[in-house]
Structure 1
Amino acid sequence: MRTSAVALVVATLVATPALAGPGAGRGSGGWGMGGSYQRMFNPATVETVSGQVVSVERMRPMKGMNQGVHLKLKTDQETIPVQVGPAWYLERLDTKIEKGDSIEVKGSRVSFQGKPAIIASEIKKGDALLKLRDDSGFPVWAGWRR
């Protein structure tokens, strides 16, 4: 009797993630609050920069994460990488950021792979505002878990 109860528990634990679908249990493909990437966001280093988008690329910020959108923004002072968010989320939005766009980015300045970067919390393009994270860095795409 005891052996069958243990077997049932093990079977349930193994089957649950598989039934939940791809990326389940990993916080939005690695983009959820539990991941080491999201913990890099520091409210104390939030700043706002403006400039022109030099490039828009898809990338995986860290091993095990789903693809994200990454910009290079040329400001008056520098060209800085901007981590925007998961591609699966951004593809569903009406406002698209493209090479050549003039934008304003609010986000946390971090050191990413030994170089400066910004993890965006908001991006303004003309009259459009893309809200990506709240003031503490909590991503809007993970809001349904609150």
Structure 2
Amino acid sequence: MKRTRFVGIITGIIMITTSLAVAAGMGGGGWGIGGAYQRIYNPSTVETVSGTIERVDRMKPMRGMGAGIHLLLKTDKETIPVHLGPDWYINKLDAKLEKGEKLDVTGSKVTISGKPVIIASELKKGDEVLVLRDAAGVPAWSGWRRK
């Protein structure tokens, strides 16, 4: 009887801890590999654009998602939103992005809520390269890769 109760308590603690992590945005927050947002990434629409950062913000790309980081990139042709990834991941990286910096962005140009957006797979600033997704669009924060 004591063993059953102990297992029940441990299971309860694990469930509570998992719930708190998800609530804090650490459980994916819609940024995970199987989510609707991830399925929007289209390897056939990948392109590279160059421009200047106009703004870096927190945002939620789709309803029900956790906060993410995006920037507005002013190119020769347009100013386009670039979605980088979940804020809990991007904010832990050493890469700092600031208004006025020149940047090359590679990513999937898609439409979200009727507006063009680039879901970034790679950022290049000078000699620095930040890889956010692989060629298939699998995010670096997902913790695993398809084979």
Matched, 1:23 2:22: yes
Tell me by how many angstroms 1:23 deviates: 1.2
Distance 2:50 2:114 in 1: 23
Deviation string for 1:29-75 (max 9, x for gaps)?
Answer: 21111110011000000000000001111011122211100111000
- Taking only the aligned residue pairs, the percentage that are identical comes to 57
Q: Which amino acid aligns with 1:101?
A: E
Number of residues of Structure 1 aligned to a counterpart in Structure 2: 137
Q: CA RMSD in A?
A: 2.4
Distance 2:62 2:16 in 1: 23
Change (3 A) 1:71 1:94: same
Q: Runs (4+) of structure 1 moved beyond 3 Å?
A: 14-17
Distance 2:89 2:32 in 1: 12
Matched, 1:55 2:55: yes
Runs of 5+ consecutive residues of structure 1 not aligned to the other structure: 1-7
Runs of 5+ consecutive residues of structure 2 not aligned to the other structure: 1-6
Distance 1:17 1:74 in 2: 45
Q: Secondary structure at the match of 2:92?
A: coil
Distance 1:18 1:126 in 2: 44
Report if the CA contact (8 A) 2:21-2:27 is conserved: no
